[in-house]
Structure 1
Amino acid sequence: MARARRSAVVALLAAGAVLTCAAPACAQGARPATDGMTDSRLFVPAIDGDARNPNRFRRPAYGRPPAFGAGTSGFRSTNTRAVPRPPVPAVVEAAPLPPLAPTDVTVPEVYRAPPLKRPPSANPPELPSVHQRRAVVRRGPADEDPFGPLGIRAGAFVVKPAVELSGGYDTNPPRQTQKQGSPLWMVAPELLIKSDWSRHELQLDLRGSFTGYTDLPDYDRPMLDLKAKSRIDVSSQTRAELEARYNLQADSPGDPNSPKDAAKPPRYTTTGGTAALVQRLNRLEFTLKGNVDRRVYQDATLNDGTTLSLDDRNFTQVGGTLRGAYELSPGIKPFVEAGLDRREHEPVSALRDSDGRTLRAGLQYELTRKLVGEISAGVLTRDYDNPAFANVRAPLVDTALTYFMTPLTTVKLEMKTTVDESILPGVSGSLTRDYSLQIDHSFRRWLIGTLRFGYGTDDYEGSLREDERYRVSAGLLYKMSREIWFKGEVRQDWLRSNVGGVDYTASAILFGVRLQR
């Protein structure tokens, strides 16, 4: 029986194998002919699985459910009912413990040292910084002149010494119609001392020069100008200003007030001082100033070797001014000024004593550092004690403006009106007006060119004489370093008068070096 069952199983397996091999052959034989046409089912993508029963994806078990973190208000973004949470059991307070019975315990005494006290002068300990910060380096203001002298520090003062050495040629040192030329040389030392205090200020300005002419030594010209200025800050609204001065000069060659037969221009000295009080009341500012000056002439040396006293030209001037200014805005300050002065001569010429009055109004301004200065106009009068002398009355125009046209170009304009003394017969005084224009241009920060134009008039009251003065000059300054500068200048002077025999023309050229510290 067992053998028969095994034979039946083998027969069944053999029959199945035959049927399996015959099925593909039948299928190939039953496929219809396509006549070269491509079966469209070749381009149908195969589907992994049964298209009528697509795959089903389970919900991932990772992440947070949509209602995770919802509050107790009952809202859930899944729109499903929240599962009620089991109630939290109440906390049952434990019964208080019975009080402890008091017990006496002996504890040994422990000595504690008192805390150390930090002395008042000691600095507090520095706490470590969480973030390490780099120190901030603040740059100082830009140096206006990188080739300017730095000076020498002497305690609370800054000392700036300098000296100029020049040489050249002048075609007419006597300033006469007949020219007489001569080589010239000049030495000009100077010393500037200025305090560096937080309050108050003291400044000494000492300048001098000596111009020598090789072929005409009689026309050598000394010059000395000494000034001491101080400012005392009484309060934030009040200050006092003091000034003392000394000046040594010589009459200009060709001056009509000099003796005709003088061998060389006479010299004179001027000594004086000024005291001023400035009071500021909000935007108002008042300045009260008083001054005194004394001019003394030395005796003149004549061509024959004798001397001539010039005491009749000595005089003393005492005066005062009062100015009121109002600051309209920062940098714009209109003002009104009134001044009085008295000139008294030596007894030999007491009849030349006179009183002067000045009234003017002006504007002092500083507009964004482009235009800085002061301009004023008014009336100037001088009345003489001697009725034989004509009084002087004239319009007054004073200007000192600086216009910074570009960072490289600067324009300066100056105008001044004064009444000078005169000893000409029948002449009460000389009304002098001076105008000057200066243009500075920096080709480089160390190379500066300068052009100057000057014009002036001298009107002798009581006489028909009127003089006109002209000057043109061009200069070049080369700043080699802070200590050494090289200079060169060419200038031309003219004098034209309605009186014959006094006109002249003069030309000069100068080259020099300036040593400073």
Structure 2
Amino acid sequence: MANLLTHSSKPRAKASYRFKASSNLCVIAILLGSTVSMVCGPALAQQTVLPDNSQLRGSIQGNTLQTQTTRPADSRAATTDSGIPSRAYEPVSPGALPAEDDSSNLGLLGVPQNDGSPPSGPADDSGGLNPPPSPEDQMTPVPTASVPIPEPRLGAPRPTAAAGDENNTDRDPENPYDTGAIEQSQEANPAENRAEKDNMPVSAIERRIPRPDPEPFAPLGIRAGTVTLRPSLSQGLRATTNADNSSDGKSAILSETRLRARATTDWSRHSAWLDFDGTYDKTLSGEEYSAPNIGLRAGFQLDLGARTTVKGEAGYRYRQEDPSAPTTLQGTSNRPGVQELDGTLGLRHEFGKFFGDVKGKVNRTTYGNAEFGNIAVSQKDRDNTFASIALRGGFEMSPAIKPFVEVEFGKLIYDEKVDFSGYRRSGVRSGLRGGVEIDFGEKMSGEFALGYLRQGIDDDRLQAVEGLSADAAIKWSPQRGTDVDIGLLTRVEGATAPGESGSVYYEGTVGIKRQVRANLDFNAKLIASLRDNKDDTGLDKGFGAEIGATYWFNRFVGLDVSARHQLVRSDVESRNTDETSVYVGVTLQR
């Protein structure tokens, strides 16, 4: 029984197993069929070729944005089959449209089939990104121009054909990606030009035009802060007919060395300056002669206000006494040295059209020993100090012309109250002058004064030294490149001989400098002198002329050549001199 039951259950179990396998196969087949219809159906529909041989969808590498923006209105419902379906249109008024019956279009599992026919319901006129043109725009022809599209770069997406471009005959049928020429409106969409820069350079309001240097061979100077120093050194040879410029002088060839330096300031308000001029002559052949001549002078100007000015000067000079001067001891074997030290300080104030000026002056003069062979004779009795004060007042006739009147009082004091001859030579000096100040800018500037000067002597046995006074210092430039310096000088000279009072000495100079070229200068100088002797020896007349030229190779090196002649004529034989010389040298400047 048990065996029977066991054998009878085996066929039933096999039948049940076969039934389950068959049902599983049916379910799998149904699922595969529905999956194929859902996946393949829309894909095949999107690849469907339209009657005009144009594809609904381009390749994956096409320009998706351009394909979407240029699709025609007829294909606006074709893209809704993929992805989430859009909501069906439902009118506000029920019954406006007949009820849709898609029962005949239902496929497997109730999914509507896509047979290529347009969907039912109202059309979507939104047009996507680009709405369709209106009928008026379609009827109006727009002038177009063909603009070639440049070949796309490697890796860049190629443009796809715009929908509705069926009549474009420039398209290559073998290359579906070649869109040919693009028709565009030159008025509505002109060709793009190169954009202009917004930050273009703007030319200056005032253009800087380089100007040539007016003095390309002038010294540059050495600058230290606000002070500029301009040094120069000259070295040359002088051939002269009278080495010591005496009445019995002999010819010689001299080595002449000259060192000059000028320092100036460029302060905004005040000013100061310093000048040095030193010359040394030494005989190379001929009459033995050696003579140093050194001059140092400094000055300043302080502007205390708009109308108040303070000026000061100081100077030192060392020279050898002129052998033709009446105060020189005759028969000496040397030329005694003379040292001069002076200083001035003045205050000037302007009020309205008038001005006042007060100036103090001090001079100190000392003389070296006179040698007669091995005997040295002291000249201390000639050492003296002179101090004076001058008052000047004037008015402004015009900004360039200012007449003035000046009064001077001073005292000449000798170190020895009584000299070796037993005379008291100290005395009071007084002077009265009238003149004019000139200021025409660069054209002419300076002053000129005429008056009377008197030097009294304490000793009643000696008469006073007095005479006409003439002083001037004028700078005149008649034309650019030409400078004229005019100077007049009046001074009182003492005497050493017993019974002699002294003399009044006048000197006038005219110096002319002409710049012929930037590197070539001509200069000339005229000197005239007159000595009025109060010892009944008459007048001593002197004259001198010098002409020269300087050629500059550059700013630092120049060649100097000059020639001069000077003479003195007097009733006293020992005062007559005559000298002619020629100089050639080189000047170095900085």
Partner of 1:173: 243
Q: Is this contact kept in 2: 1:218–1:263, CA < 8 A?
A: no
Relative to structure 1, the CA distance from residue 245 to residue 371 in structure 2 (aligned partners, 3 Å threshold; closer, same or farther) is closer
Partner of 1:379: 452
Determine if the alignment matches structure 1 residue 256 to structure 2 residue 326: yes
Partner of 2:545: 472
Q: What letter corresponds to residue 505 of structure 2 in structure 1?
A: T
Relative to structure 1, the CA distance from residue 193 to residue 356 in structure 2 (aligned partners, 3 Å threshold; closer, same or farther) is same
Deviation per CA, 1:134-162: give whole Å up to 9, x if none.
15356899966442212111112112121
Match of 1:311 among 375, 380, 396: 380
Greater Rg by CA: 2
Secondary structure of the 1:312 match is: helix
Relative to structure 1, the CA distance from residue 153 to residue 409 in structure 2 (aligned partners, 3 Å threshold; closer, same or farther) is closer
Match of 2:354 among 284, 301, 311: 284
Match of 1:190 among 260, 268, 271: 260
State the TM-score, normalized to the length of structure 2.
Answer: 0.62
Q: Is this contact kept in 2: 1:389–1:462, CA < 8 A?
A: no
Q: Distance in 2 between matches of 1:454 and 1:194?
A: 29
Secondary structure of the 2:456 match is: strand
Q: What letter corresponds to residue 412 of structure 1 in structure 2?
A: D
**Unaligned ranges ≥5, structure 1:** 1-127
Match of 1:331 among 375, 400, 418: 400
Match of 1:209 among 279, 298, 304: 279
Secondary structure of the 1:257 match is: coil
Q: Distance in 2 between matches of 1:197 and 1:136?
A: 29
Determine if the alignment matches structure 1 residue 299 to structure 2 residue 369: yes
Match of 1:151 among 218, 221, 226: 221
Note the aligned Cα RMSD (angstroms): 2.5
Relative to structure 1, the CA distance from residue 138 to residue 286 in structure 2 (aligned partners, 3 Å threshold; closer, same or farther) is farther
Secondary structure of the 2:575 match is: coil
**Per-residue deviation at 1:501?**
4.5
Secondary structure of the 1:263 match is: coil
Q: Distance in 2 between matches of 1:179 and 1:244?
A: 35
**Per-residue deviation at 1:181?**
0.6
Relative to structure 1, the CA distance from residue 144 to residue 312 in structure 2 (aligned partners, 3 Å threshold; closer, same or farther) is farther
Determine if the alignment matches structure 1 residue 463 to structure 2 residue 536: yes
Partner of 1:272: 342
Q: How many residues align?
A: 389
Partner of 2:120: none
Deviation per CA, 1:336-368: give whole Å up to 9, x if none.
111112111122426111211111111122346
Secondary structure of the 2:499 match is: coil
Relative to structure 1, the CA distance from residue 295 to residue 498 in structure 2 (aligned partners, 3 Å threshold; closer, same or farther) is same
Relative to structure 1, the CA distance from residue 447 to residue 224 in structure 2 (aligned partners, 3 Å threshold; closer, same or farther) is same
Relative to structure 1, the CA distance from residue 428 to residue 206 in structure 2 (aligned partners, 3 Å threshold; closer, same or farther) is same
**Unaligned ranges ≥5, structure 2:** 1-197
**Per-residue deviation at 1:300?**
2.0
Q: What letter corresponds to residue 305 of structure 1 in structure 2?
A: N
Q: Distance in 2 between matches of 1:510 and 1:247?
A: 24
Secondary structure of the 2:381 match is: helix
**Per-residue deviation at 1:496?**
0.8
Match of 2:558 among 466, 476, 485: 485
Q: What letter corresponds to residue 174 of structure 1 in structure 2?
A: D
**Per-residue deviation at 1:326?**
1.9
Q: Distance in 2 between matches of 1:202 and 1:322?
A: 24
Match of 1:343 among 401, 405, 412: 412
Determine if the alignment matches structure 1 residue 233 to structure 2 residue 303: yes
Determine if the alignment matches structure 1 residue 358 to structure 2 residue 416: no
Higher strand share: 1
Q: Distance in 1 between matches of 2:364 and 2:257?
A: 27
State the TM-score, normalized to the length of structure 1.
Answer: 0.70
Partner of 2:582: 509
Partner of 2:66: none
Q: Distance in 2 between matches of 1:483 and 1:165?
A: 14
Q: Distance in 1 between matches of 2:557 and 2:269?
A: 33
Q: Is this contact kept in 2: 1:206–1:227, CA < 8 A?
A: yes
Q: Distance in 1 between matches of 2:586 and 2:324?
A: 30
**Per-residue deviation at 1:286?**
1.7
Higher helix share: 2
After superposition, residues 18-97 of structure 1 pair within 5 angstroms as none
Partner of 1:320: 389
Q: Distance in 2 between matches of 1:215 and 1:305?
A: 25
**Per-residue deviation at 1:415?**
2.3
